[in-house]
Each structure stands twice: as structure tokens, then as C-alpha cells.
Amino acid sequence: MSDASGSAPRRPPLPRGWRRFLFRLPIRLYRARLGALLGQRFLLLEHVGRTSGQVRRVVIEVVARDDPYGPSWTVASGFGPDAAWYRNLRATPRATVQVGARRHEVEARFLSPEEGGELMARYAVRHPRVARRLCAFMGFEVRDGSPEEFRRVGTSIPFVRFEPAGP
């Protein structure tokens, strides 16, 4: 994997200590039945730990909700493929998401690098400043901000789409 300049991205360190506490604060909103305050931009993901088998929770930003075949939510792993929730979903793709006050049983589908590139290019057109900050956070350098550059960066970002789970 590399950034737009061709060098390997420097992924942000996984949050520890007070940073981890801050990252996990939104979970408390959902537990207090106040998840609707976060609107449609965030979701609470409940998934199974790959080694513990216990239910784990994380709040993630939604980058796309545009599936014409039913409700779906696409998220990016800002900490790369080493994020615990991402690795857990790789082991057990079935999960539950809560968006606002509604819960949905879902199946995780991992997007291909090409799909991730297209998604990132579209996202950058809609949210250029946020896209630049997201790329910088994940260790990617974006110089000219062109759709092609964001497409290249997007091929190295792990994207996951949550689709309604079958029976």
C-alpha cells in the first residue's frame, strides 16, 4: 500500500489511554439511548470479537449510504486493516448496526481496492476539506486534490459496506 506519492502511508497509532477514552465516548451516547443525536453520519457497530467471542462495540463515521437495493452503510477503517473491529469482521462478517435509534442486522462486505478508489473520489467531491483531513489522518499525502489522486489513495483504504443480512 502506498499514498498518492507512491510511498507507504504512516498509519495513525491505535488510540490508547485518554485518546481511547475520547474515541469511545460516543458509545455512551448510544447506551443512554441518545444515538439519534449523532444523526445518520455515524453508526454503532456491534460485532463479535475474533478471539474472545464477546460482543464488541465501536462508533464509526458513515462515508456513504447510497445502495439502491436497500439500506446500506459504507465505512472506512481510519486505522487501516489492523483496527480490531475490521479484523473481527473479517473473522465474523455478521453484525448489528444502529443508526440513530434504529438497529439493523447486517453482513459486512469488504470493498475491492477499485471500489474503494471510486468511493473515495466521490466522497472527496462532496466533502473536499474532510476528505483531505481524513487522508492526512490516515497517513496519505494529497497534493492537488484531484479526483484521480483521491481515487489512488482510496485504493489503499479498507472500506466496508454493511448490507442487510439474509436469513
Give the pLDDT confidence score for residue 39 in this predicted structure.
77
Q: Which pLDDT tens digit goes with each residue over 135-149?
A: 888 888 888 889 999
Give the pLDDT confidence score for residue 86 in this predicted structure.
97
Q: Which pLDDT tens digit goes with each residue over 111-166?
A: 999 999 999 999 999 989 989 988 888 888 888 889 999 999 999 999 999 999 98
Q: In terms of DSSP bridges, do strands 55-64 and 73-76 run parallel, antiparallel, or are they unpaired?
A: antiparallel
Q: Count the Cβ atoms, other than its own, within 10 Å of residue 48.
A: 16
Euclidean distance between CA atoms 98 and 139, whole angstroms? 29
pTM of the full structure: 0.81
What average pLDDT does the chain have? Answer: 85
Q: Which pLDDT tens digit goes with each residue over 75-99?
A: 999 888 989 999 999 999 999 999 9
Tell me the average pLDDT across 45-54. 96
Q: Which class is 17-113+158-164 in CATH?
A: mainly beta
Confidence class of residue 1 from pLDDT cuts 50, 70 and 90? Answer: very low
Cell 462495540 sits at which residue? 57
Tell me the domain boundaries of the chain: 17-113+158-164
Give the pLDDT confidence score for residue 2 in this predicted structure.
44
Confidence class of residue 5 from pLDDT cuts 50, 70 and 90? Answer: very low
Tell me the average pLDDT across 20-33. 74
Q: Find out whether 78 and 131 touch, Cβ atoms under 8 Å.
A: no
Give the pLDDT confidence score for residue 3 in this predicted structure.
44
